[in-house]
Structure formats: C-alpha cells, structure tokens
Amino acid sequence: MKPIIEIRHIHKTYASGGAQVHALRDVSLAIEPGEFIAIMGASGSGKSTLMNTLGCLDRPTRGEYLLDGMDVAQLSADQRADIRNRKIGFVFQGFNLLARTSAIENVELPLLYTGAPAEETVRRSRESLRLVGLAGREHHHPNQLSGGQQQRVAIARALVNHPTLLLADEPTGNLDTRTSIEIMNLFQELNRERGITIVLVTHETDIAEYAKRMVVMRDGRIVRDQPIERRRDATAELAALPPLEPVEDAA
Amino acid sequence: MRLIPIIKIALRALARNKARSILTALGIIIGVSSVIAMVSLGQGAQQQVQAQIASMGTNMLIVTSGSQRVGGMRGGVGTSTTLIPEDIAAIEREAPAVAATSPGVNAAVPLVFGNQNWTTRAEGVSEAYPAIRNWTIASGAFFTAADVRTAARVVVIGKTVADQVFAGTDPVGQTLRVRNLPFRVIGVLAPKGQSQFGQDQDDTLMMPYTTAMKKLLSITHITSAYISATSADATFEAQSQVEALLRQRHNIRPGMEDDFSIRNLTDIADTAAQTTAVMTLLLGSIAGVSLIVGGIGIMNIMLVSVTERTREIGIRMAVGARAAHVRMQFLIESIVLGVAGGVAGIVAGIGLSLLLSRVFGWPQAVSLMSVLVAVAFSIAVGAFFGYYPARKAASLDPIEALRYE
C-alpha cells in the first residue's frame, strides 16, 4: 500500500541562545493509511519537533516530506495553513478549546476557515460531536464539561474536516486513568471502524501500547521502530473496570 | 477569503468580552458625540447669525450721502446734499444688476395720540422698501406708489410704536400727530426684534419719502438709499454699477473722492458667517482630538487582547487560519468597535445637542454632513489603530503561540 506520510532524511536545526540545536537528525519514516502509530521519547528527544513537522506547523531544514503524495516540506506559511486545515487534525494535551465558546462553535472552527456553507458547517459539526459521543452537548461551554468531554470536543474538532491524519500530542496527559482509557478507546474505535490514521505522541509506554506500532526517538534520531506485540484493548479494559458511581455532570 | 465567517468570528470574540468591548467603544462614543454636538451647536449659531443678517435685508446695498466740504471744513457723513431722489430713479432705470430701490430720509420725531406721546425714528422710504428689507405687514397695508407720488400723509408703524402709543386700541385708521401734523395710520409692521447690533428694529415709523422731504423736513435731498441686487452673487456687480452711475451723475472726476458711500450687507454677512464657521471648526477639532484619544484606547485594548489571546491565535492557526484570516479578524474587531462607538456616539451627540439647546436656549442644527464625517472618521480610527495589533497577531508563530501560557 502507498504510504500517506513519507518523510525522507529530515533534518531540523535551529539556533537557541547562540548554540545550534539539532532537533532532528536524518529522520525517515513511512506511515500507511489506517496505521495507529505511537511516537515515544523523553523530553528533548525530538518527538515534539517531529510532530510539529508532521503537522505542517514547522518546516524541516532539510529533507522531503510527502503527505498524500505531495511534497509539503517547503510550502509557504499560507499553503501549510491550508494543508493543516484540510488534511490534519490536531489533538493537544491541554485540549486547546476556545473558552466561553460552545462545543459546537469550537468544532466549527476549521470549517470557518475552509469556507464551507453555514448549513453544512452546522451539520458536519453535529455529526462530528455525535461521533465522539457528545450528541446533546452542542451548546455546553468548555467550563461546563469534564476534562474527558473537553478532549472529546477537541477530537471532534480535529475530525470535522475529514483529515488524512489525526495528530495527538500527549492527549491523555491531563486526564485520570479511567478517562485516559476512554479517550484511547475512542482513538481505537476511530482507527478500527473508520480507518482514520492516527499518530500519537506520548512519553508513557502504557498509553503507547494502545497503538499498533511504536517509534522511539532519542537525541533527534529514531532508535526503534517496531510493531506492538501485546497491544492493549481499551474496550476490554473498560469492561473489566469496576463500574463507577455515575458522576454528577459538571454542567 | 470569505469575509462573512471572519466577521462572525470577530463578532463572537467581541461578544465574549462584552464589558471590555463596551468600555473600549466608550472612547469613540465620547469622541463622536462631542464632535456631533459641537458642530451642530456651531452650525446652529451660524444659521442664527445668517438669519439675523437676512432680516436686515436681502442682497442689499445701502448708499449714504457723504461729507460736505465747506471752505476746507469737512462735515460728517450725511451732510452732503448732493444725493437726490432722481439719482435713485436713475439707478433703478440704468443699473442692470439692481432689482429694486428706495430713497431714504430719516429724522427723530415726536408722536402724539390722545394723551399718549412717544419719540421715534421716522423713515421716509418708497413702496419698494418692505421687499428690500424683509419687512412684512401684520395688519393694514403698506403705502403705495400713488401715496409716494402725491406725498400722502400716511404712516406705517412698527410694533413698539403701536404698543407705546396705541396700547390696546387698533392703530389702523387712527390719526397720529407727527411733529404736530396729522397722519393716518394705514398699517402695522410685523415685529423683527433686535438687530444684530442690539437696536430695537420695531421702534420705527415709515412714511413716503416725498411726504417726509416736503411736509416734515422741507429738504430736496435724501440722506440714504436702499438698493437690492438681482441676486446675492450680483451684489458686488450692483455696487460697482451704482458707484459708476453716481460718480457720473455727480460729476466727480477720476481721482476725486466720492460724495457718497456704499455699504454691502453681503460683506457683513460673509464676515459674520466666516467667524462662526471658524468657531465651529475650532470646537469640532477640539472634539476631534477626543476621537483620536478614543482610537488610541482601541489600539491599547487590542494590543492587550492580542497578548491575552495568544493561545487562541495559535489554535486558530493550527486548525488552518492563514495569517490574513487572523489579521482580518482583529482588524474587523477594532473596526466594529469603531463603528459601534460611532453609531452610539451619533445618537448620544444628537441627544446632547438637543439637550444643550433645550437647557441653554442655544440654537442647534444637526447636519447630515457632520454625521457622515463622524461615521467615516470612526471607521478610519478603528482601522488605523487596529492595524498594528492585527499585524502583530498575524505574525505570531503557531508553535510558540500554542505553547503560550
């Protein structure tokens, strides 16, 4: 199968306090459609730089980046903005939702920059919220939602433009264990049932084990790239957990 | 780039910070409302001055006889006896820029009616005089050309005279003694009030100039003449035609002084209008300064807002906003603040000028022009002072912005 992401011999250097920092050194990676890949590494290993590069937030100093067969390594800022808008969905550790803005308005955000018609914007945003299990909470504001629900809104926002790639940067970093498993369950479902390609950046091995493949980075290089042998199944784990007392909604 | 979603985004952002948005717009509201109020009060004053001047007469020239030189002694204005009614008739006949004329003689006269007496100014004029000086008749009629020809003993009196002499009774048809000569009162003038110089214009009495010359003063010359030009633009042309004609008729050789003088009311009106226009401009520009201060307020708040919303900008860029989208969003936010402040300022300004004119009795005239200028200016202020913060927002690096705490 033709990879949807192919980076070849990527280098990234930047000046920091007078010194040259080599954040990425000759990194090559191919990701095929429908993969669920975890990028691991300690802080300073270059995993964030790699994610920013994959997410077209940043440009590599050297090397090629083919996204959907198109070389996006040297695109202008505006062109990268358009790629992020149409091909990439971001999920962050801190949710990064707009405060005092309803869930549906947060989800609509990418579509506003796509220029989709108003009715289609609303329809697709509702659909996306339903997909992450938040139907009926369209008009809740972030401060009326739990952390897990906020992250689901962020996932709905990332999915609303039907991206080629879902990039998740420490998506469970701010969540408790149970909610983390719930979010990983959502990722596994999206990957399994909808064939969405997911790149998950994390420093926690037990979170990485929900993916199908693990890439470990150290000092700006990929030091290990292997399939996950004993993959965790979030659905089964949730079923095994003792049932919780229904928690009062923050709303 | 489609504008409507960006406008929607900007409006949502403003709505999220209602109190701040309103306070920011307040600067513009104060600026615009003070511009509108100052300019409309200034223009009200200007219109009042113009109306007062118009009440003195339309497109009018006043000719007065000049000084007479008797053996080296020069008398005062009006001592010359060279201006005669025939001069005025010739002006009316021969000067094309002249529409109407009236000779004038005047004198202070004692009046007696029954047991009442009063002293007023008697003006000997022609039947054309009311039209030249914008007098209207309240009751009765003005005298006619036939009255002038026959030097009829008829008078038309001003409101003050009517009140003083005829208190209570209808003056029309009564016989009034002027310097002990009986005159029939045939009309009462509608009141005009004070002149621009504080004189009571209604304390007057008018009779045919022929009557005044022959029966009252026994003179053959006149002391003044009132001339109206065919239009406001023609007053200066009429002035030079009258001057040339009078010099010719009085045999004044080139280089010699006129034995008359001509005053042009348009001149006076222009000066007065200019004075109030300068005042309006001055008040308006002082108010304009507060509009600029309001604009700086917008810039200040927008800069704070950009810093405070760095993460929001990062999120927008991550999901696909181009630099131009972000710039446009912040620019629209500041323009909306400017326009909203402008519209509210117009309402407040009109209210303020109505209130001031009600409380202090000042005239006011809200002009469409000042409203349009204020709106245009508040949009411009919003755009101008919003541009720098908007550019700053658009130039943020998305990675840095997302990391911003």
User: SS3 for A131?
Assistant: helix
Q: Which of residues 138-167 of A touch B (CB under 8 A)?
A: 157, 161
Torsion sign across C-alpha atoms B36, B37, B39, B43: positive
* Closest CB to B319 among A52, A77, A85: A85
Residue A245 has pLDDT above 70, yes or no: no
> By the CB < 8 Å criterion, does A105 face chain B?
yes
pLDDT of residue B231: 82
Instruction: Express each pLDDT in B124-177 by its tens digit.
Output: 999 999 988 888 999 999 999 999 999 999 999 999 999 989 887 899 999 999
pLDDT of residue B14: 87
Instruction: Express each pLDDT in A177-199 by its tens digit.
Output: 999 999 999 999 999 999 999 99
CA separation, residue B110 to residues A38, A125, B226 (Å): 116, 96, 25
Residue A250 has pLDDT above 70, yes or no: no
Q: Do B319 and A110 touch (CB under 8 A)?
A: yes
Q: What is the mean pLDDT of chain A?
A: 91
Positions in chain B whose pLDDT score sits under 50: none
Report the half-sphere exposure of B50 (CA within 13 A, side-chain side): 13
A197-202, strands of its sheet edge to edge: A88-91, A165-169, A197-202, A36-41, A213-218, A221-227
Instruction: Express each pLDDT in B96-124 by its tens digit.
Output: 999 899 999 988 999 999 888 899 999 99
Nearest residue of B to residue A117, measured between CA atoms: B5
**Percentage of the residues of chain A whose pLDDT score is greater than 70:** 96
Instruction: Please list the residues that pair with A210 across neighbouring strands.
Output: none
pLDDT (mean) for A81-86: 93
Distance CA B226, CA B124 (A): 11
Q: How far is the alpha carbon of A192 from chain B, nearest alpha carbon, in Å?
A: 24
* Closest CB to A77 among B8, B312, B323: B323
Residue B30, class by beta-carbon neighbours within 10 Å (0-12 exposed, 13-18 middle, 19+ buried)?
Answer: buried
Output the CA torsion B182→B184→B189→B191 (10° steps): 40
What spatial distance separates the first Cα and last Cα of chain A, rounded to whole Å?
Answer: 46
Fill in the amino acid letter for B132.
Answer: I
Q: Which residues of A touch B8 (CB under 8 A)?
A: 112
pLDDT of residue B192: 84
Distance CA A62, CA A25 (A): 10
CB-based contact A16:B400 (threshold 8 Å): no
pLDDT (mean) for A64-90: 91
Q: Do B9 and A112 touch (CB under 8 A)?
A: yes
Distance CA B202, CA B195 (A): 9
What spatial distance separates the first Cα and last Cα of chain B, rounded to whole Å?
Answer: 30
Q: Do B320 and A113 touch (CB under 8 A)?
A: yes
Inter-chain Cβ pairs, chain A and chain B, closer than 8 A: 66
Give the pair of three-digit tokens for residue B148: 């002038």
> By the CB < 8 Å criterion, does B402 face chain A?
yes
Report DSSP state, residue A145.
Answer: S
Fill in the amino acid letter for B396.
Answer: L
Q: Do B316 and A109 touch (CB under 8 A)?
A: yes
The residues, ordered by sequence, that sit 6+ positions from B256 with a Cβ below 8 Å of its Cβ are none
Distance CA A96, CA B402 (A): 8
pLDDT of residue B1: 54
CB-based contact B60:B369 (threshold 8 Å): no
Distance CA B332, CA B326 (A): 10
Give the pair of three-digit tokens for residue B58: 């339309």
pLDDT of residue A251: 47
Q: Which residues of B touch A100 (CB under 8 A)?
A: 16
| Interface predicted TM-score (ipTM) | 0.92
Report DSSP state, residue A197.
Answer: E
